[in-house]
Structure 1
């Protein structure tokens, strides 16, 4: 592996941009160089169908036939001169040269630079390029993501876009998350049309919002011993952030993270003391799982009291035998729902406005926050059918 640790990062300060800043949402490009025949045709159709942002090719005829909904990126070599590239019907001219002192060959085109980062010198070149070129396509030869982190930092507020070559879908998911916001764009040479569909999902920015409702407590009962689970996540949780959990698919309660002070022990700001092992928990993509099914590495939704949600990863699930408390409530439409939690003061549920309610201090008439799905569940998936839960 090349040694890039000696690069002088003090000189890589953010450039003054054009006021637009860097793109927040990610985008995907498909590289058709080296893809031919029926596979190229199938990939191209998949890219159009899934609204991929751009196609990279060295075939001008192919690019000129693309619909205007796709960015056309013509890849050229450094020895092409601008007067050889006149009247191009493309959006970006992607060159291996970093010398772009002239205007792009077409009045509607922009310059892009394609670079390979393999050592400290080429990393510095990449950092300079992202500060001065509208589009910089980067191939990193080493498996570490540190060079990409440095380039992303150099691009901050520059107005330019970084596009990172990824080897496969797994690599794409990682590159998207580097330094939290990741590379602006991902460039993949697909091996099948399915790669195009999956890449489109990777770059899609998902806005999770859960329509929370107000629940009214109607009953609290001490029910004796049982198995309950703590869900430890790989993220630090907010004070009004919880997971949705309940005994019935027809309604779930918003649990509270252990971010508030506790007597006799420190807080656990990564944890929900979630509930009994039979309980449903809301996962991404409107799916539920039983608490007992959860495993390290799986995604779960962290929901705030205003309904905004994000995906976090489970670090572990800890199941222990404890006294349990059954809490019953009614939904706004009069349905009865239930959650069973550990019977202890430090277990909490969230209420309207992010109020924190210790379960052992709940009383009839108290108000909590919850979620009332419109569908029943079968193996965790929503389905419209008759289902009576008691």
Structure 2
């Protein structure tokens, strides 16, 4: 789990309320420049002292002291002069020289806190690459909670944590939500095919994502919000065309899909830059970025199925052999070859939907 640090150095008049919010939300550390601001904090949070130009004579209750290696000296040497005190480094990366200092710190020091001056991830990439075989903790400052996922995704794994200096209550909670946001595992169910019908002409949507999809991965599609079928990505070879490992030939434009773990969208509503939920045959899920939605007129095929509890399921897809649906164990099934009695994978969200949000109300879909 990535760490969340709260920086209260500039939070005049709000320090107490911000600390309480951070403690309540389970922050890992609170950072101050005055030892007095760390006094009385509970042991559930690390007390981090990040002083200004001069080191104080005493470090108070600080569990960790973060210093500027150029101005104050290397953390290892300071630790030798102050037995029992744990030291780390703080580096403002503004140019090639400070980047070199940061790279040296992450390979040497137990904790490195980094701030990057320019709006590019390249310096962070270089630092993370330098720290590939090191074991120290790397924390990066962020200006806004919404920026945290960007930093945490650099080189796929990002730093070990992020630090925010909030200007108002509530921002700490937003940072925690951004860092802890996880896509849920879905409880997929086996459906039994009951009928296959040529449905005539209509528009279907191919959803092209900005990532490679796995061989057992696709998106959930259905004519009803409470009954979806797992349509597989085009990662499997075809005799007449190359694979499209980023694409799902999903279904008719009015079909529902999951944009994330909670919210549905019509396929026709998906847009470049939005998200759709990629789902594996074992129920694992992840939001992926939509790069394009390709809508064209094609013959359509209506597939009816039923769940073990009797719930009726329908999905309308392009009427072509190369459009595929996942079966139990990740079996790849050509849609036009399905027959009554075949088993396919689906998901039953259980709750009704209104403009994509789950709600509890009477709603019939047929």
CA contact (8 A) 2:183 2:287 kept: no
Separation of aligned partners in 2, 1:367 and 1:110: 59
Q: Cα distance, 1:77 vs. partner?
A: 4.2
Separation of aligned partners in 2, 1:265 and 1:292: 25
Q: Deviations over 1:259-295 (max 9, x none)?
A: 1112322111000000111111012231111111111
Q: Cα distance, 1:338 vs. partner?
A: 0.4
Q: Deviations over 1:123-175 (max 9, x none)?
A: 11111111111110111122221111011111223110111112223432211
* Counterpart in the other structure of 1:253: 229
* Counterpart in the other structure of 1:8: none
Q: Cα distance, 1:102 vs. partner?
A: 4.1
**Gapped regions of structure 2 (runs ≥ 5):** none
SS of the equivalent of 1:29 reads strand
Matched, 1:96 2:68: yes
SS of the equivalent of 1:235 reads coil
SS of the equivalent of 2:108 reads coil
Q: Cα distance, 1:207 vs. partner?
A: 4.9
Separation of aligned partners in 2, 1:300 and 1:199: 23
Matched, 1:64 2:39: yes
Separation of aligned partners in 2, 1:321 and 1:198: 43
SS of the equivalent of 2:156 reads coil
Matches within 5 A, 1:126-145: 126-145=102-121
Matches within 5 A, 1:166-245: 166-204=142-180, 206-245=182-221
Q: Cα distance, 1:51 vs. partner?
A: 1.6
**Gapped regions of structure 1 (runs ≥ 5):** 1-24
Matched, 1:157 2:100: no
Q: Cα distance, 1:61 vs. partner?
A: 2.0
CA contact (8 A) 1:76 1:96 kept: no
* Counterpart in the other structure of 2:343: 367
Structural RMSD (CA): 1.7
Matched, 1:341 2:314: no
More displaced 10-residue stretch of structure 1: 226-235 or 261-270 = 261-270
Matches within 5 A, 1:205-354: 206-354=182-330
CA contact (8 A) 1:248 1:280 kept: yes
Separation of aligned partners in 2, 1:110 and 1:317: 53
Q: TM-score, normalised by structure 1?
A: 0.89
Q: Deviations over 1:197-223 (max 9, x none)?
A: 111112115252010110100011001
Which of 48, 56, 61 is the aligned partner of 1:73? Answer: 48
Q: Cα distance, 1:347 vs. partner?
A: 0.5
Separation of aligned partners in 2, 1:306 and 1:32: 43
Count, aligned residues: 361
More displaced 10-residue stretch of structure 1: 69-78 or 151-160 = 69-78
CA contact (8 A) 2:183 2:260 kept: no
CA contact (8 A) 1:26 1:205 kept: no
Matched, 1:389 2:361: no
* Counterpart in the other structure of 1:3: none
Q: Cα distance, 1:384 vs. partner?
A: 2.5
Q: Cα distance, 1:236 vs. partner?
A: 0.5
SS of the equivalent of 2:261 reads helix
Matched, 1:40 2:15: yes
Separation of aligned partners in 2, 1:50 and 1:106: 32
CA contact (8 A) 2:78 2:87 kept: no
Separation of aligned partners in 2, 1:386 and 1:335: 16
Q: TM-score, normalised by structure 2?
A: 0.94
CA contact (8 A) 1:78 1:95 kept: no
Matches within 5 A, 1:16-27: 25-27=1-3
